[in-house]
Structure 1
Amino acid sequence: MKRPRLRRKATPKSRSSVFQPPGTISYVGEERHGEVTSETILYDTNEFKKLDGIYLDKLSEDHVNWFNIDGVHEIDLLEKVGSKFHLHHLLLEDIANTTQRPKTEFYQECIYQCIKMISYNPEEKDIDQEQVSILLTKDAVITFQEKTGDVFENIRERIEESRGRIRSSKNDYLFYALIDSVIDHYFIAVEQIGEHLDQLEDEIFDDPQKESLERVQKNKRMLLKLRRAIFPLRESISRLLKEDSELIDQHIKSYFQDAYDHCIQIIETVESYREINAGLRDMYLSSVSYKMNQIMQVLTIISSIFIPLTFVAGIYGMNFEYIPELKWEHGYRYFWILSGCLFVALLGFFKWKKWL
């Protein structure tokens, strides 16, 4: 049965939103019906509060305010948050569209950072990605995620336990810390992909199978998807470094330089993995060809050994009446002695030629 070939699809887009006016907020992404969860974290040097739910009325200029929302398919909640912080309708449209490429946009009221949160799935041998929208406003930091579960738990612990400088810093540092946390987890995913490629390389070198070639092709699509998620982030972080904004202090930009360097390092690693994976296909073909050559070599040697023996047996198997050797008393014994000598001579010749 012929296996159906996977077709490449263009960037998914909700059909209902294709011909709608710009700025129309409609969810684009995987179908979700789960309940939207949210949390509110308020802190300063001396105080920390964590509340389940979105409490926009507790917004305080004396605290750093972090509002985290898991789920962007509930349009009413997006509009509520947008109304509170006077967010542009085009910005809200981008948040609801989970197929955005990583980017940074500067608005009058905020800075919008779109980034892909990536994790490696060892069972599927593929990456899982989720869009995260991070907004830095004058009074708060707002994060929008597609679903529950993120890589920000370390940030929450640092805030709660007052580790590092985060409790003594402002919203712009929290904005950087969230972006940096996502980028740092790229290293974990990339390292796991590297281990997978090493295992596959050993497998192809030792015993190449048809499934190995299929995994190489699957890796090609996985690395391309990973590149699409990470490569635009370099330009995005570069904008945060180059453009001036009242929302980000100058001393925070040195931290974004560190994040930019990490992006370059990850991109170079992904590119090297793509080259390694491309080499695995050549290695597979070479291994299969070498294995086939070994088989053909053995069969050729066996055939070469039996050709002269068959020639001798063919001569004395003819139906001529007068063949002198047929009347020899020890003719059968002489035949096996001759066959043995030919066998040993041919083996010695193959050894001398280093064909064995």
Structure 2
Amino acid sequence: MDYFTKDYHPPGTPPGTLVEAEEGAETPLSIRLMGYTAAELRERELANVSECRPYLQDSSNTWIHVQGYAEPAILRQLGEMFNLHPLAMEDVLNTGQRPKVESYDEQLFVILSLAVIHDSTIKARQISLFLGEDYIVSFCNGHSDPFEPVRKRLRKNGQRFQSRSIDYLFYILIDLVVDEGFPILESFGEQLEELELELLRCPTQNTLAWIHRIKRELLLLRRIFWPQREVVNRLLREDYSPMTNGIKIYLRDCYDHSIQIMELLETYREMSSSMLDVYLSSVSHHTNEIMRILTIIATIFIPLTFIAGVYGMNFGDNPDSPWAMPELSWYYGYPLIWLVMIAVAVLLLIFFKRRGWF
């Protein structure tokens, strides 16, 4: 996970400047058009931007989706064709923008962040949406198209879509981006369960690295979901000219989903923080267990060492001294000392056991 992922122009660049991006330029570009009326649904893969011009001259609702890296020249063409604001086009080119909503006269511009799992790490992909009177222009960086489920719904249940205004499709796209948070958080829930079991069994340095990775990724998800909830709230509370009042009942449901995602995210963040404390406590407890065993072993050998040290002194060969050690001359002196030492060790073990020290 990168701490800073926003593309930006050098300080001092005039606003609205479209400059070739250094990263993401290798992503192939595809332009897909879907137009529909109450009785007809059309879908085409466009070779260039100019091919969509004939579809804008009829009365159908038109959705143009640009997937991958769009060069500045292509963005300029789309901007001229749909009268898109230069500042908005700059935000489309410089990915990594904070989710937001902007109103330009009779046009609505929304930026969202789509959280995806790529190579077992969380990545944020920018979704840019323009809503006009009868058209939607959407942009998404990356290779895979996140809106393919929406196209399947259009093909299968076209009548429901075709009978509604274009802002209903606009809501569907926003709802898909918001709901993508649920499977992401579900995967984190499974990871946290596995992590909790590992903490209780035998935590290692890899466990600590796992905890820190989850905490960082949950922090990134918070940076995605928190402003995204505010975007949905603004669309719900404020009046924007391209959107009709009838669509707000659906936005309420979308806002409810965003709140559920945030609550679940905060719960997982608290769990990951508490798991760090559990890891430190577990490591400390494991260290204390080792020290206790070593202390018991050392305590048992203290009297044994004392006995061995006493009878290791050379005071047994002096016949003139009444204080010589007669035990050294005993026939069974050696096995007797062993019996004494074993008895002392056993008595100490019994004593430790009754005290509950092991």
TM-score (norm 1): 0.92
* Whole-angstrom distance in 2 between the partners of 1:100 and 1:157: 29
2:140 aligned with 1:145, yes or no? yes
Q: CA deviation at 1:231?
A: 0.7
Gaps in structure 2 of 5+ consecutive residues: 317-323
Aligned to 1:49: 42
- Which of these residues, 115, 123, 143, is aligned with residue 128 of structure 1? 123
Q: Deviations over 1:236-269 (max 9, x none)?
A: 1111011112311111101111111111111111
Kindly indicate whether the alpha-carbon contact (under 8 Å) linking 1:133 and 1:144 is maintained by their aligned counterparts in 2: yes
Which 10-residue stretch deviates more, 331-340 or 290-299?
331-340
Q: What is the aligned counterpart of 1:104 among 76, 101, 104?
A: 101
CA distance in 2, matches of 1:34, 1:154: 21
Correspondence for 2:84: 87
Measure the CA separation in 1 of the matches of 2:68 and 2:177: 18
| 1:146-225 matches, cutoff 5 A | 146-162=141-157, 165-225=160-220
Match of 1:339 in 2: 341
Native 8 Å contact 1:28 1:98 kept in 2: no
Q: CA deviation at 1:72?
A: 4.3
Q: Please tell me whether the aligned partners of residues 229 and 259 of structure 2 are also in contact (alpha carbons under 8 angstroms).
A: yes
Amino acid at match of 1:158: R
Cα distance in 1 for partners of 2:260, 2:35 equals: 34
Kindly indicate whether the alpha-carbon contact (under 8 Å) linking 2:106 and 2:241 is maintained by their aligned counterparts in 1. Answer: no
- The letter of the residue matching 2:168 is Y
CA contact (8 A) 1:112 1:134 kept: yes
- When the two chains are superposed, the root-mean-square deviation of aligned CA atoms in Å is 2.0
User: Is residue 86–residue 109 contact of structure 1 (8 Å, CA) maintained in 2?
Assistant: no
Distance 1:185 1:245 in 2: 25
Change (3 A) 1:29 1:211: farther
Q: Once structures 1 and 2 are overlaid, which stretch shifts more, 290-299 or 330-339?
A: 330-339
Range moving further from structure 2, 254-263 or 242-251: 242-251
Select the residue among 333, 337, 350 that pairs with 1:348.
350
Do structure 1's residue 242 and structure 2's residue 244 form an aligned pair? Answer: no
- Alpha-carbon spacing, 1:91–1:220, altered in 2? closer, same or farther (3 Å): same
Change (3 A) 1:149 1:79: same
C-alpha distance in 2 between matches for 1:163 and 1:176: 16
CA 1:46–1:172 in structure 2 vs 1: closer, same or farther (change >3 Å)?
same
Residue 11 of structure 2 is matched in structure 1 by: 18
Partner amino acid, structure 2, of 1:323: M
Question: Is residue 126–residue 141 contact of structure 2 (8 Å, CA) maintained in 1?
Answer: yes
Tell whether 2:227 aligns with 1:232. Answer: yes
SS of equivalent residue, structure 1 residue 227? helix
Q: 1:324 aligns with which of 323, 326, 343?
A: 326
* Mapped partners of 1:29, 1:268: distance in 2: 37
Closer/same/farther in 2, CA of residues 27 and 182 from structure 1, 3 Å limit: farther
Deviation for aligned residue 1:85: 1.4
Offset from partner CA, 1:129-157 (integer Å, 9 cap, x none): 21010111012011011133132121101
State the TM-score, normalized to the length of structure 2: 0.91
How far 1:113 sits from its partner (Å)? 0.9
For residues 13 and 148 of structure 1, the distance between their equivalents in structure 2, rounded to whole angstroms, comes to: 18
Specify the SS of the correspondent of 2:123. strand
Cα distance in 1 between the residues matched to 2:5 and 2:187: 27
In the TM superposition, what is the alpha-carbon distance from 1:30 to its structure 2 partner?
A: 2.5
Identity across the alignment (%): 39
Q: How far 1:11 moved relative to its partner?
A: 5.6
Deviation at 1:167, TM superposition (A): 2.9
Q: Does 1:33 align with 2:35?
A: no
Is 1:29–1:99's contact at 8 Å kept on the other side of the alignment?
no
Q: Relative to 1, partners in 2 of residues 1:158 and 1:13: Cα closer, same or farther, differing over 3 Å?
A: closer
With 311-320 and 333-342 compared, the bigger mean Cα shift is at 333-342
